[in-house]
A and B are shown apart, each in its own frame.
Chain A
Amino acid sequence: MAHGGRIAAISALLAATAAAFVLPDWIISLATIAFANGLVVLGLIVMWRAGLVSFGQAMYYCIGAYAVALIGRWTGVTDAVALVLIGGACAGLVSFVVGFLLARYREIFFAMLSLAFSMILYGVLVKTESLGSTDGFSVIVPTFLGYAPHREKLLVALYWLVLAVCASAAVLVDIYFRSLAGALAIPVRDNEIRVEFLGMAVSRLIHTKLVISGLLGGMGGALAALAVGHVDPNMSYWTTSGEFVFITILAGAGSVAPAFVGSLVFESVRSFAFAVLPQLWQMLLGSVLLLTILFLPQGLGSLITRLRWRRNVEAP
């Protein structure tokens, strides 16, 4: 991130944090869920830079969410930070195991195989009547390092937690993008075979990216579970994955910030469409997406690049 970009990002973060005092509750709730989803989208961006689109990201989202819900229910752990880390770790573990298989695939077959896994998880959860099947079950109210807020304070606390997690993730992922492994993503997308000839192990690289995106997806799911207060198998359904991919394309693969901005804009537009056209909201959403693809080919990220004073080299 260039110097100017860094200042912009920090001020945006501060503004978002301060906004909690000014904005009405329902906007804070919407933003919390949007940023939690933005974390999942960030994971997808990590993989899209390497040319892979996963239609099974919902699986990690669901694992993170169910991990939080189950641990909160079965053990006494209610600390939000711990729950989010555990949720992310569970999803990361699964992505590590699954990655051995998945890292060998590309393009449509990668997408379909990841979809298959997420749908198998869906099937398992639907069959598990003790977990409420498709009705799901509720998530316990979290505490924050001993502090147990209620109502509006809980909402703000969750919002700040989400902001903190997203900011840390954004910084870490940005560092990753600048590292060798992260920078290799673009060459891998362009021509994998040449990268191999240069001596890099592409499979291992992809595997690492899979684990990172699994971790991010799991943390996003954990945060979403805490924010919504309810988990159900639908979180692993392919249409959920489709939504994340939708936002990813809107955001563009350029940098980190668009993941969150894109997610926020998507939630707002959808809410707007619901309120304005209760029966035809799909048409509004679809048209907006179409227009974006046609007129903003690099996604929302390009909008941000254009707004900067110094015109950076366009993100690949």
Chain B
Amino acid sequence: MLNRGSSLGGVLGTLWVLVSLLEVAIPPAQAQNAAPAAAPVKLGIVSFLTGPAAAPFGIPGRNGAEIMIEAMNAGKVPAPFNKVGFGGSNIEAKYIDEAGSAANVVTEFRNLVQRDQVDAVVGYVSSGSCLAVTPVAEELKALTVFYDCGTPRIFEEKSRAYVFRVSPHATMDSVAAARYLLAKKQDVTSYSGINQNYAWGQDSWRDFAGAMQVLAPKVTADKALFPKLFAGEYGAEISTLLTSKSQILHTSFYDGDLEAFVYQEQARALDKRMTILATTGEAAMWRLRDKMPNGTMIGGRGPHGPLAPDSDLNRWFQKIYTDRYSIPPTYPAYQMAMSLLGLKLAYEKARKGDAKPTTDEVAAAFKGIEFDGPSGKVKLAIGDGHQGISETAYGTYRFNKEKNEPEIVDIIRFPAECVNPPAGINADDWIKDGMKGAKC
């Protein structure tokens, strides 16, 4: 039955080749059949739906998009965002997985823009994806909003016309971490770090150590550990840290690795000797709960979640998200919400009458935009009006035993101009030169 050269095999094989070549024909045909009556706005939403980055970033981002788009289409978002959809046009979203090599990501981006003809692409968690997609977005003149990726390189390497990022970049996190540390622990003499051995971890450590060097040159860095990304097993690293004399441990570990590290160090009481400073800890606190050590200094890549300023919009967003997904929104969900709100505002600003605005009109309206969202105020002030800056906040983690809920206390807010480089200056150079121009 299954022997060589079976005719069944031949039929199956031919079918397969045909199907794979047919798939290129179907979507364009569908696009032509769509009635252009109220010309909906098509968005491509890209984030990690599979792989280890799905649970901490990709899925919350996707959920944030889903709930916001639903609310927008129903006109339920509080003012000034209460117009239905984008300026009256319904939003249709297509969700794509970010997984795969740079070649895959670029191919899927092209598919979204050229095959599915989306009006804008919102997404991307990995800095590598963002860097690969940017030149293609510029070449295709496709409006693109990055919601999570952290590298400052995107707008520093070249000025862009169609790529925007509402969320501040990663430099802000490390600089604010240093400032918070020095505000809370004036007697610190030495710090160590454990960061993942790839661009994000390396950049976070470099920014943090650089900021510490500028703000407190007498404080020394002891152990700088770089375990493999998703290593999962940190026994040797914990042993090394147990023999260190540092009072503070900086880490940019996120969810999976952060959880594994916290469990393993808890078993060995490392947090009794060193206070942990987790720059992305907010995303994991709802899962770690009472296992995150009390006293951990915690950040959320910006003023998101419990670190967000209180406002009607924030409370509304938390409610609709928690009602739907049974867990409060973490910072990727906030970042996605802010990105979509920014895009919506730009669309509505550019729209004249009933006609759909062109990509160039929306881009022009988006440039330099300023608004208040669930995470507070953001302004696209650097990167030639394409990169957002906002204030940020760090706090100290405490598990409230009476309420049986995690909470963040001792929050310090840092103004946007304090922890972000000024317009026109590279983040790296800014830190190296002593962070001139910081207004705190």
Interface residues of A (CB under 8 A from B): 24-27, 29-30, 33, 126-127, 129, 132-138, 151, 224, 227-232, 234-235, 240, 261, 265, 267-272, 274-275, 278-279, 281-282, 288, 291-292, 294-298, 300, 302-303, 306, 314
Q: Is the CB of B135 within 8 A of A229?
A: yes
Say whether B115 faces chain A, with CB atoms less than 8 Å apart.
yes
Q: A306: which B residues are within 8 A, CB to CB?
A: 5, 10
One of A25, A129, A302 near B110 (C-beta < 8 A): A25
Q: Is the CB of B6 within 8 A of A229?
A: no
Q: Is the CB of A271 within 8 A of B102?
A: no
Interface residues of B (CB under 8 A from A): 2, 4-6, 8-10, 12-14, 16-17, 19-21, 23-24, 27-28, 49-50, 95-97, 101-104, 106-108, 110-111, 113-115, 127-128, 131-132, 134-136, 139, 151, 153, 157, 197-200, 202, 206, 229
Q: A24: which B residues are within 8 A, CB to CB?
A: 28, 114-115
Q: Is the CB of A281 within 8 A of B97?
A: yes
Interface SS of chain A: helix, strand, loop or mixed? helix
Q: Is the CB of A26 within 8 A of B132?
A: no
A selection of 9 A-B contacts at a CB cut-off of 8 Å is A132-B131, A138-B132, A138-B135, A274-B97, A278-B97, A291-B12, A295-B8, A296-B13, A302-B4
Q: Is the CB of A270 within 8 A of B5?
A: no
Q: A314: which B residues are within 8 A, CB to CB?
A: 4-5
Q: How far is the CB of A313 from chain B (nearest CB, A)?
A: 12
Complex CA distance for A33 and B21, rounded to whole angstroms:
16
Q: B139: which A residues are within 8 A, CB to CB?
A: 151
Q: How far is the CB of B142 from chain A (nearest CB, A)?
A: 12
* Given A126-B198, A295-B2: A26 in contact with B101 (beta carbons within 8 A): no
Nearest residue (CB) in B for A297 is B4
Chain A CB within 10 A, most for which of B13, B96, B115, B229? B13
Q: Is the CB of B132 within 8 A of A136?
A: yes
Q: Is the CB of A25 within 8 A of B96?
A: no
Complex CA distance for A286 and B200, rounded to whole angstroms:
31
Closest 10 CB pairs of A and B: A230-B132, A295-B9, A26-B114, A134-B198, A268-B20, A272-B23, A133-B199, A135-B199, A134-B199, A26-B110
Complex CA distance for A76 and B123, rounded to whole angstroms:
34
* Given A234-B102, A295-B6: A279 in contact with B97 (beta carbons within 8 A): yes
One of B104, B110, B115, B128 near A270 (C-beta < 8 A): B104
Q: Is the CB of A274 within 8 A of B20?
A: no
Contacts beyond the supplied A29-B110, A228-B132, A272-B19: 14 A-B pairs with Cβ under 8 Å? A136-B128, A137-B131, A228-B102, A230-B135, A265-B20, A271-B111, A272-B20, A272-B23, A275-B111, A291-B12, A295-B6, A296-B9, A296-B13, A303-B13
